[in-house]
């Protein structure tokens, strides 16, 4: 579906305006995201090193999926608002006040999603996760028997490197999850395109069948007409047919006028 057609659909008039349907879904999703952000913060900033725990990882992944879904809906709604602003005459049922309210809603929703995104992957959250990773590595590996300041510094460096490796692996997991979401969206789009192509193919086949039937009927009529007029000159036959059609049209015009 093209952007213009999508905008036409989302901005259509009537009581069941799809814009408001998507808006209600987005509001519910934003409320769910903010609730999950509270759970995320409780796990991340709670006592102990919880950044590597399974409940925290599950919560972070689920939160990331919800945020990406909300961003996709926001992108669609933003496109519809932009489309209406560019072509006001095509949407007379949306007055300036309604358009302003839609624009304000999209802006406010973007701010809420940005806040959630920052809570999950902002500098403060990343610093806490890195610190938790380092503490977890130190707890698992110990100090390697270090006694001097230099040995302790080396041990701290090793712990830091391993913590950074875990952080890199976490970022790779995030990227793979985003890629998985993108693949799912492409698959959904491909399925829609495939369905549309099948529908159009059936329509073309039906049209070809009707055209074949019409051609056969026309050939039959022309054959009968050639026998009636005792001529096989195609030009003469088509001229007679055209003049007959014109005559019928003129008679109808005279009758109706």
Closest CA to 160 of 142, 129, 137, 141: 137
pLDDT of residue 179: 67
Q: By mean pLDDT, which of 1-10, 82-91, 93-102 is the weakest?
A: 1-10
- 43, part of any domain: yes
The answer, yes or no, to whether residue 20 has pLDDT greater than 70, is yes
Neighbours of 123 (CB within 10 A): 8
Average pLDDT over residues 144-169: 61
| pLDDT tens digit sequence for 37-94 | 999 999 888 876 676 688 888 888 889 889 988 998 898 888 888 888 888 888 888 8
Total domains, the chain: 1
- 247, part of any domain: no
- 185, part of any domain: yes
pLDDT of residue 205: 83
Residue 30, both tokens: 């934003």
Q: Based on DSSP, count helices (H) and strands (E) in the chain, helices before strands.
A: 7, 0
Query: How far from 30 is each of 112, 167, 214, CA to CA, in Å?
Result: 7, 27, 57
Q: Domain with 100 in it: what CATH number?
A: 1.20.58.70
pLDDT of residue 131: 80
> Quick check: 230 and 241 in contact, CB under 8 A?
no
Average pLDDT over residues 15-44: 86
Average pLDDT over residues 157-186: 65
pTM here is 0.56
* Non-local CB neighbours of 97 within 8 Å, separated by 6+ positions: none
pLDDT of residue 177: 64
Residue 44, both tokens: 């991340």
Residue bearing the bigger pLDDT, 51 or 29: 29
Residue bearing the bigger pLDDT, 188 or 132: 132
HSE, CB side, 13 Å, CA atoms: give it for residue 171: 11
| pLDDT tens digit sequence for 222-252 | 676 666 666 556 676 677 778 788 888 888 8
- 237, part of any domain: no
Domain encompassing residue 196: 18-141+149-202
- 1, part of any domain: no
């Amino acid at each position: 579906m093209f952007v213009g057609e999508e905008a036409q659909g989302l901005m259509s008039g009537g009581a069941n305006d799809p814009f408001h349907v998507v808006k209600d879904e987005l509001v519910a999703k934003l409320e769910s995201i903010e609730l999950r952000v509270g759970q995320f913060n409780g796990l991340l900033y709670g006592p102990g090193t919880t950044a590597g725990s399974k409940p925290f990882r599950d919560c972070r992944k689920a939160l990331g999926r919800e945020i990406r879904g909300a961003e996709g809906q926001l992108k669609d709604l933003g496109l519809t608002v932009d489309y209406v602003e560019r072509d006001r005459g095509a949407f007379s049922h949306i007055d300036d006040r309604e358009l302003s309210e839609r624009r304000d809603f999209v802006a406010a929703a973007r701010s809420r999603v940005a806040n959630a995104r920052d809570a999950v992957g902002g500098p403060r959250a990343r610093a806490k996760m890195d610190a938790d990773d380092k503490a977890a590595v130190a707890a698992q590996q110990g100090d390697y028997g270090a006694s001097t300041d230099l040995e302790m510094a080396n041990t701290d460096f090793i712990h830091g490197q391993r913590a950074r490796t875990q952080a890199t692996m976490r970022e790779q997991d995030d990227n793979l999850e985003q890629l998985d979401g993108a693949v799912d969206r492409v698959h959904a789009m491909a399925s829609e395109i495939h369905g549309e192509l099948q529908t159009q193919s059936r329509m073309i086949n039906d049209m070809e069948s009707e055209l074949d039937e019409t051609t056969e009927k026309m050939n039959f009529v022309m054959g009968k007409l050639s026998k009636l007029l005792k001529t096989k000159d195609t030009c003469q036959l088509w001229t007679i047919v055209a003049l007959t059609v014109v005559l019928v049209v003129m008679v109808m015009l005279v009758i109706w006028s």
